[in-house]
Structure 1
Amino acid sequence: MNYRHAFHAGNHADVFKHIALLALCDALTAKPAPLFALDTHAGRGLYALDGNSAQRTGEAEGGIGRLLAEAPKQPLIGRYLAAVRACRQAHGAAAYPGSPWLLAHALRADDRIAACELQPEEAAQLKHAFAGDERVAAHQRDGYAAMKALLPPRIGETRYNRGLVLIDPSFEAQLAEFDTALAALRDALGRWPQGVYALWYPIKRRRALQPFYRRAATLPAKSVMTAELLVRADDSPLRMNGSGLLVLNAPWHFDQQLQAVLPTLARTLGESADAAGAVQWLKQPE
């Protein structure tokens, strides 16, 4: 496995994914019961945008760089930018928070987080980043295997009936990754059906995703939706033209929140007139 997220931290896909992640966290923490969050492909948790990797690609300039410069007046964007600024106050002016950092930032003292990363160097950085946070357990392990091992979640005497699973693989296996992810989701729903699940995926040629949509609609969840952001036309197989989230058991009004923010993100992060965002229900809420 050669993927290193440090080259892509803060790009348009990260911006979209992290805005949605914070919205999910806020919806779940609106109720008092404690939560469990599992980040299956966590990376190192914290990135330096002035480092060699990020500077080599410059992708963050088209993502978080644009959003910070324009600071659109939209609640979900404001929430996300406040989290980025909090990260930079704690870790330096060029810091960028990965998903485990955002989970730790958004969740509460009695919530618990498991963050998994398979690559040894990245996992070591992840463990270091959260060494002082007793809420976060950082594991060097395969994320899909962790879904089998850690769901349904129980820590000590506490059973967690509510929570979130973020699945954010590298997609080095390209379309074959969807087979693995959908199988893992089906299995997890059988053991923790009430959890909220979010699978991030890249978009190159969108029409190639039609089999994925059809299979996702058959998952045994109460609801299945997609939210997608394209920054250019989706007709090039050689580049990531956008990204999406498959969300199972989405919180109430989550679809409306994303639908409201996607036009602003498309306008701010778009690289052509074809930039667009959309929310689609594959299975309507029961």
Structure 2
Amino acid sequence: MNYRHAFHAGNHADVIKHVVLLAACDALLAKPTPVFAVDTHAGRGLYRLDAEASRRTGEAEGGIGRLADVARQCAPVERYLQAVQACRMAQGPDAYPGSPWLLAHALREQDRIAACELQPEEARALKAVFADDRRVAVHARDGYAALKALLPPRIGETRFGRGLVLVDPPYEAQLAEFDAALAALRDALQRWPQGIQMLWYPIKQRRLLRPFLRRARALDARSILVAELMVRPDDSPLRMNGSGMLVLNAPWKFDEPLREALPALAKGLGEAGASWHLEWLKAPA
């Protein structure tokens, strides 16, 4: 694969993905029992927004770089920015946390994280980030295949009944990636039916996602929520105009922080024609 997330770290897609991820962590931490989290496409875990890759695209300037005013009016966005600030206090002012870093920051001593990364260079960097954190196991392997080995989660005598799976592929295969992602989610639900399963997906033209959303609706999950942020109209198939999160087994009232965050993000990050969409494909019973 040629994809390198360093070119896109901190952009609008990262913002919605990480806001939703932290909301899921907060929902899980409402109970004291241990949590297990799997990140199937973890990347290198930590990025530098002053690095050449980030400066070349400037995408972070249109993402996290625009959020200071939004955070003052929106608690879920403030929660996310506080996590980013914690990363910068530890790693330097231009650091940006990837999803495994945010998981490690949000979760507790008794919780465990499996971070999977196939690209050797990225996997080595990921291992270095978490070399001193015994809660995080880095797996230098394909994340889809790893789910079969990692679920249902058990470490020693501890069985983890609660937790989450984050699937965040690079979509180098474009629409064909949805086939692999949905198959992985379907299998994960069978192996760990109580876990929260989340899939990030890009949006160029939303009408092209209708077959994917129909298939997602048919998954055997207790609840299915879609949260989408469009930073511009979906009028071009040549650029990413927005992105979304599919959340399976979303907890009761999980839509409430997102209903606050999404319009604030559309206003703060969007161009003319920006929009947001939040829908229960299957509401919690």
Normalising by structure 1, what TM-score? 0.98
User: What is residue 108 of structure 1 aligned with on the other side?
Assistant: 108
Q: Residue 71 of structure 1: CA displacement?
A: 3.4
Q: Residue 29 of structure 1: CA displacement?
A: 0.5
Q: Residue 69 of structure 1: CA displacement?
A: 5.7
CA distance in 2, matches of 1:95, 1:183: 34
Count of residue pairs brought into register by the alignment: 285
Matched-pair contact (CA < 8 Å) for 2:70–2:77: no
Q: Residue 137 of structure 1: CA displacement?
A: 0.4
User: What is residue 220 of structure 1 aligned with on the other side?
Assistant: 220
The one-letter amino acid of 2:250's match is A
Q: Residue 39 of structure 1: CA displacement?
A: 0.3
The one-letter amino acid of 1:280's match is E
User: What is residue 58 of structure 2 aligned with on the other side?
Assistant: 58
Matched-pair contact (CA < 8 Å) for 1:116–1:138: yes
User: What is residue 208 of structure 2 aligned with on the other side?
Assistant: 208
* Structure 2 counterparts to residues 229-244 of structure 1, below 5 A: 229-244=229-244
Matched-pair contact (CA < 8 Å) for 1:230–1:241: yes
**1:228-278 deviation per Cα after TM superposition (whole angstroms, max 9, x unaligned):** 000000121000000000000001211121011111000000022x11111
The one-letter amino acid of 2:283's match is Q
User: What is residue 68 of structure 1 aligned with on the other side?
Assistant: 68
User: What is residue 264 of structure 2 aligned with on the other side?
Assistant: 264
Matched-pair contact (CA < 8 Å) for 2:252–2:284: no
Farther off after superposition, 70-79 or 153-162: 70-79
Normalising by structure 2, what TM-score? 0.99
User: What is residue 274 of structure 2 aligned with on the other side?
Assistant: 275
Query: Could you say if the C-alpha distance between residues 256 and 70 of structure 1 is closer, same or farther in structure 2, counting changes exceeding 3 Å?
Result: closer
**1:143-191 deviation per Cα after TM superposition (whole angstroms, max 9, x unaligned):** 1001111000001111100000000000001000001011111111111
The one-letter amino acid of 1:143's match is G
Q: Residue 72 of structure 1: CA displacement?
A: 3.3
User: What is residue 168 of structure 2 aligned with on the other side?
Assistant: 168
User: What is residue 85 of structure 2 aligned with on the other side?
Assistant: 85
CA distance in 2, matches of 1:20, 1:278: 14
RMSD: 0.8
Say whether residues 1:48 and 2:10 are aligned partners: no
CA distance in 1, matches of 2:4, 2:69: 26
SS at match of 1:30: coil
For structure 1, list consecutive stretches of 5 or more residues without a partner in the other structure. Answer: none
SS at match of 2:246: strand
The percentage of counterpart residues that share the same residue type is: 71
